[in-house]
Amino acid sequence: MPLWPFDKKRIGLVLGGGVARGLAHIGVLKVIEQYKIPIDYVAAASSGSIVGAVFAAGMEVRLIEELALRISWGRILKVTFFRPGLMSGEAIEDLIIKYVGDKKFSELKIPFAVAATDLKTGEPVIINWGRVAKAVAASVAFPGLFAPEEVKQHTVVDGAISANLPVDLAKQMGANFIIASDVVPTCPVNYLPKDPFQVFGRSLDIILHKLSLEQRKQADILIEPKMDEDIWHFDLHKAKKLIAAGEAAAHQSLRKLQRSYH
């Protein structure tokens, strides 16, 4: 039984992008499971779509965590040739298929949708049909690193560019109570970036945070994992710390909500 009354709520879980920091969403899922909060919809963007897809497919959270602790860039990156990107999204598709199968959206246990970005117009493209693995690959197609994906009449890249925290998408799906996990840091970093990738990543974080302000305001519960150290976009090897940060932030937010009911 939930620790507070959710019986009249249709709960939407929103998982934002943040490259490696998207692993912090797993800690959020652990707490949601512990508090027995029933999730009715999942909306995600970028790296959040990977976690969201396996969760919506019904994978146990403990297995998602085990997978995250073993993951490496070598398993995700697949070099491509003669395409406008260094890497192909096929490795992302293969990863999703390996662990949950080549499912269609209609086969998922929880209604799920991802955001991608139309490369021509800059507008969000919502994907909630067809093959889940293909949709996830489209949502994580980080510009320049991953080649753009073709989704029907759209050429799309990373959903973070247009809708990094797609709260409005969860509402469109039918949710009337939103739990949003935003893994883009809002606090100043402790140290200046040390290489071009970190400089680019930090600059991107600043932009994404500003673009997500309105979406953040629409969340009923906003979970913001905080790290004791600066964790950069490509730090997959810090999965344990990221998951712990997500867990701590979720406990803090949900305890605050729980107290308001007593």
DSSP string of 33-75, one letter each residue: HHTTPPP-EEEEETHHHHHHHHHHTT--HHHHHHHHHH--HHH
223-227 contacts, C-beta under 8 A, 24 or more apart: 223/28, 223/179, 223/180, 223/181, 223/182, 223/249, 223/250, 223/253, 224/182, 224/183, 224/186, 224/249, 225/21, 225/24, 225/27, 225/28, 225/181, 225/183, 225/249, 226/185, 226/187, 227/185
Active-site residue flag, 46: yes
Ordered alpha helix ranges (H), 7-155:
24-34, 47-56, 61-70, 73-76, 90-100, 132-139
User: Which of 118, 158, 168, 205 is an active site residue?
Assistant: 158
Please name which of 20, 17, 15 lies closest in space to residue 197, comparing C-alpha atoms.
20
Report which DSSP code applies to 148.
P
Active-site residue flag, 212: no
User: Which of 40, 46, 118, 162 is an active site residue?
Assistant: 46
Token pair listed for 78: 């697949």
Angle at 8 between CA 6 and CA 12, to 5 degrees: 65
Cα 60 from Cα 47, distance rounded (Å): 18
The residues that are catalytic are: 46, 158
